[in-house]
Structure 1
């Protein structure tokens, strides 16, 4: 007998939770999902993800294709860029270097 284990689309996420975005001086409380990876060519740690649909964010960004923001989580705050929304009104978010979520820095944390 084969059992099917449901697959969550969030399994590979490094951070899924609350965040505050600071957009042009306005703070917006939302939820984000982020993943990080080290780019093998240049060695820079990059992080990308999506912001849950948020009418306040949509009203602030309008048709801007790329907006600089600050992402604040309980872990830290980092600068990022918000890109265009997908068909489900989730904006892309991307940053590089140290992310606003915990990253294992000791080999014992990576196991």
Structure 2
């Protein structure tokens, strides 16, 4: 999806976008990967066209958002200008809004 490589995890499906404590139901396609250069997790994706998200974005309210999946995973991110289809790109770093494999190091 994002061209980040074979080591990325993906999620497609329903999400809740939280803006100023308001919850907006949306559809999303998200992907992410661990970035060894920064030591952090990066995730990106797109929200499907959604009039509520677009209205809040146009009003300047939906720049920093929380994206939550039905399983309860959530990530803090930012959304960008709408694309030609009316959806919005979304990206974040740190804990993603979807399940990722746990990695344990033997010490």
Pick the TM interval, shorter chain: 0.7 to 0.9
Aligned residue in 1 for 2:22: 26
- Which 4+ residue blocks in structure 1 deviate beyond 2 angstroms? none
- Count residues in correspondence: 97
Aligned residue in 2 for 1:50: 46
What is the deviation of 1:21?
Answer: 0.5
TM-score (norm 2): 0.78
Structure 2 CA distance for aligned equivalents of residues 23 and 71 of structure 1: 9
Stretches of structure 1 lacking an aligned partner (at least 5 in a row): 1-8
TM-score (norm 1): 0.76
What is the deviation of 1:44?
Answer: 1.3
Structure 1 CA distance for aligned equivalents of residues 53 and 67 of structure 2: 13
Larger gyration radius, structure 1 or structure 2: 1
- Indicate conservation of the 8 Å contact 1:16/1:32, yes or no: yes
Aligned residue in 1 for 2:5: none
Stretches of structure 2 lacking an aligned partner (at least 5 in a row): 3-7
Determine helix, strand or coil for the equivalent of 1:85: coil
